[in-house]
Chains A and B, each alone.
Chain A
Amino acid sequence: MLKALLARLNQGHRTAVGIPEALPDRTLGRPRFQPARCAEGCSECARVCPTGAIEPGRTLDLGRCLFCGECARACPHGAIRFTRSPGMAVRRRSDLVLAGPELQLAEALDEQALRLFGRSLRLRQVSAGGCNACEADINVLGTLTFDLARFGIDFVASPRHADGLLVTGPVSQNMREALVKTWQAVPAPRLVVAVGACAIAGGPYFDHQQTCGGIDGLLPVDLYVPGCPPNPWTILDGLLRLLGARSGTSTEHR
């Protein structure tokens, strides 16, 4: 007992106070896309993108992005640069299709939904065909560094006890029915959060017949959190924005 108490003292207080402004120096956060810099006919970025997320000179689909950074390395004009900002969750799929440096970050739920969920949000997580990295970094939110429960957010075992689903994976054909049934078992009104490139648009498996290429078209989505996998701070930032606990809806990049 004494040993446990000593260990507790020694381990110290580890819970982070706020979401950091910047991720570690080599980590790729929110990209800054400036198609105005693109040269006519150049498609170096599109050539190296593993998921076809870029239309050169026009758009970068953050929903498909795996954050491998190959595009930024290939671009001779500095049109794509990754910042270290963790915040990049949005409310609408179209907001992830960047046509310039601006990204419309997620707004809070409407007033009625906030009254219901703002101080207590219980989510059922469904993993559907991904690689388990998103799940790993969702689990991390429960550790004392992030301490998700202090924000009133928790994961529950039964969809009947949940206010919504948090979905990961491209939705394999083999999980499609289970996912939809789990959603049906959540009492309305209910939220859906799509975490990771797979859940948003299929990730590396976007064109596989064995997957549905993400949850769009299967379930109505309230929050999209891009990344492969998203950094835990990115997921937390998104959830807090949804609950109105973090504001500032548009981005001005450093």
Chain B
Amino acid sequence: MRPEILSFPEFSKRLAGRHLAALMGLPGRSGSVLMMAVTTPGAPEPDQEASACPPGGLQLPATVVEGSYPSLTPKHPQAHWFEREFFEQWGVRPEGHPWLKPVRFPQGHPGLTDFFQVGGEEIHEVAVGPVHAGVIEPGHFRFQCRGEEVLHLEISLGYQHRGVEQALSAASPGRAMAYVETLAGDTTVGHALAWCRNLEALAGVRLPARAEALRAVALELERLANHCGDLGALAGDVGYLPTASFCGRLRGDLLNLTALACGNRFGRGWVRPGGVAWDLEAVRAEQMRTRLGRIMRDVRQALDLLGRSGSVQARFERTGIVTRQVASDLGLVGPAARASGLALDCRRQFPWGPYLQPAFPVCTAQVGDVASRAQVRQEEIEVSARFLDRLLAGLPEGPVRTEMKALPPKAFSVSLLEGWRGQICQVLATDTEGNPLACKVVDPSFHNWFGLAVALRGQQISDFPLCNKSFNLSYCGHDL
């Protein structure tokens, strides 16, 4: 598949009704920039969800820009963060962008910037971060409040910026793996997989069935561990300690299942170009399945307690609402989007290997509050656990890795897959020699940070930790 180069108005039109998975630049002729969008179908209407998410439908509209262009954001709000990034990386100005400022502050001093301010005598401002109270990544949050009520929250990131996206295309194959496995540490498998699938697609390498099955095992274990840990943390944020404590331990037990397979709790070193580096022999697969069964019994019990506690549900319900319309306008992804009723899941839309048959179930909720986000996570735990159990019981025979080939020159590939936080998009283009020329990485957090900011509007500021945890976004995955 190749980018389709269009006039600017035509390009803008082609974004309507679509989900913007990425907006990126490629060096064009004589100082111009090729602006390319990766778009996927928008969410199906709520009454069509029985047949939701038909597979495929990727489009790559592109246009040439230079100096400045009319901002896409007024018509396509989901482009707003991407346009700020594009301006920061390519210096091409989106005229009429409502809030044009850096997203990562590569020139330094991320705190020194104008924040959106609400005027009035009764308004006060609360500044939090970059160093937060817990063992958490750095970021700055600026709240505009009237009493306890949050009128506006601006999230300013970039503190974790380490230049990894830029370094990726020039890296040796070994170092590139180290980079992609640390784009977001809790999504090691997701990002490593997106990277390897691009390399394999470019090289035209077909994977053995067993390799794809083991990759799905790795991806779903990552989802289980994170969903389980986050539900425990949500319980902790409203002071419900039994589930907080049980799920904290269970998350570790799930990470240890990944370590059983590859030695590393985060799955580092498991996914490699051409397949996986570690097989799961019969004994080990059976051991994993038994341990998973035991863990899931305890997980169900811990989550059952959470669901039955009236005081917990009272805190979760109607807190941090993102409506379906807002979620769709902002282009949210993953459990956060599905909790607002958008039936989008790359395991259904862009299936591979064991996700191909039967069509993967998409878990949705309707309200878009903390309770909905918790509900979607809980249902996805069930779906993933059942899927894993089936996979482990019937792993296909055969090799787990195949020989990689050289990358072809002037080729182009897009990888879309469903990490535990949502849609991971990576784009890889090669130069005339077949070396990586440009890489684009879009962590799901990049789409969702603004969703968190919007969820806070009209909330009590004391509900920030709860709302934040219900999204649990990655700072490093955003900052790159």
| Chain A positions near chain B (C-beta within 8 angstroms) | 3-4, 7-8, 10-11, 14, 24-28, 48-51, 66-70, 125-140, 142-145, 155, 157-159, 169-170, 172-175, 178, 182, 203-205, 208-211, 228-229, 231-232
Which of B178, B186, B246 is A7 in contact with, Cβ under 8 Å?
A: B246
Task: Note all chain A residues with C-beta closer than 8 A to B304.
Answer: 3
A-B contacts, 24 of them at CB < 8 A, read A4-B305, A7-B242, A24-B260, A25-B263, A26-B278, A27-B263, A49-B174, A50-B174, A50-B175, A50-B177, A51-B175, A51-B178, A66-B268, A127-B160, A130-B160, A132-B137, A142-B248, A144-B249, A172-B160, A172-B162, A174-B161, A175-B159, A204-B175, A208-B163
Closest to B108 in A: A173
The distance in angstroms between the C-alpha atoms of A145 and B164, with both chains bound, is: 34
The count of residues in chain B whose C-beta lies closer than 8 Å to any C-beta of chain A is 63
Please state if A128 and B138 are interface contacts (CB–CB under 8 Å). Answer: yes
Report the Cα distance A203→B186, complex, angstroms. 17
Asked if B259 and A133 make an inter-chain contact with CB atoms under 8 angstroms apart, the answer reads no
- In the assembled complex, how far is the CB of residue B9 from the closest CB belonging to chain A, in whole angstroms? 37
Contact A134 B182 (CB under 8 A): no
In the bound complex, CA of A118 to CA of B349 (Å)? 55
> Considering only CB atoms, which chain A residue lies closest to B133 in the complex?
A157
Residue B269 at the chain A interface, CB threshold 8 Å: yes
A7, A10, A126 pick with most chain B CB within 10 angstroms: A7
Question: Which residue in chain B gives the minimum CB-CB distance to A141?
Answer: B135
Taken together as a complex, chains A and B put the C-alpha atoms of A178 and B177 apart, in Å, by 30
A182 touches B131 (CB 8 A): yes
Instruction: Name the one of B179, B302, B479 contacting A204, with C-beta atoms under 8 angstroms.
Output: B179
Say whether A10 contacts B301, CB under 8 Å.
yes
Q: Is the CB of A174 within 8 A of B263?
A: no
B245 contacts partner chain A, Cβ-Cβ < 8 Å: yes
Smallest CB gap from B180: residue in A = A204
9 A-B pairs with least C-beta separation: A133-B185, A26-B263, A131-B185, A157-B133, A210-B163, A143-B248, A131-B182, A204-B178, A27-B263
Q: Which of B108, B172, B177, B308 contacts A174 (CB 8 A)?
A: B108
Taking a contact as CB atoms under 8 Å apart, the answer to whether A155 and B135 are in contact is yes
Instruction: Give every chain A residue within 8 A of B266 (Cβ-Cβ).
Output: 133, 136, 229
Question: CA of A170 to CA of B245 in the docked complex: distance in angstroms?
Answer: 31
Closest A residue to B262 using CB positions: A26
Residue of B106, B130, B248, B308 touching A144 (CB-CB under 8 A)? B248
CB distance from B190 to the nearest CB of A (A): 13
| Cα A158 to Cα B131 with chains together (Å) | 9
Instruction: State whether the Cβ of B39 lies closer than 8 Å to any Cβ in chain A.
Output: no
Within the complex, what minimum Cβ distance (angstroms) separates B241 from chain A? 9
A26 close to B159 (CB less than 8 A):
no
Q: Is the CB of A129 within 8 A of B263?
A: no
Residues A129 and B174 in contact in the complex (CB < 8 Å), given A136-B186, A174-B110: no
User: B167: which of A67, A125, A143, A208 is its contact (CB, 8 Å)?
Assistant: A208
Interchain CA distance A218-B164 in the complex, whole Å: 22
Indicate the member of B255, B259, B260, B263 with the most A CB atoms within 10 Å. Answer: B263
Residue of B nearest to A158 (CB): B133
Q: How far is the CA of A46 from the CA of B336 in the complex (A)?
A: 44
Establish whether residues B264 and A210, one from each chain, have CB atoms under 8 Å apart when the complex forms.
no
B301–chain A nearest beta-carbon distance, Å = 5
- A70 engages B138 (CB within 8 Å): no
Which residues of the other chain, B, contact A175 by a CB distance below 8 angstroms?
A: 130, 138, 159-160
CB-defined contacts of A49 to chain B, threshold 8 Å: 174
- Check if B87 is an interface residue, CB within 8 A of chain A: no
Residue of B109, B164, B262, B265 touching A137 (CB-CB under 8 A): B265
B135/A125 in contact, CB under 8 A = yes
In the assembled complex, which residues on chain B have CB atoms less than 8 Å from the CB atom of A155? 134-135
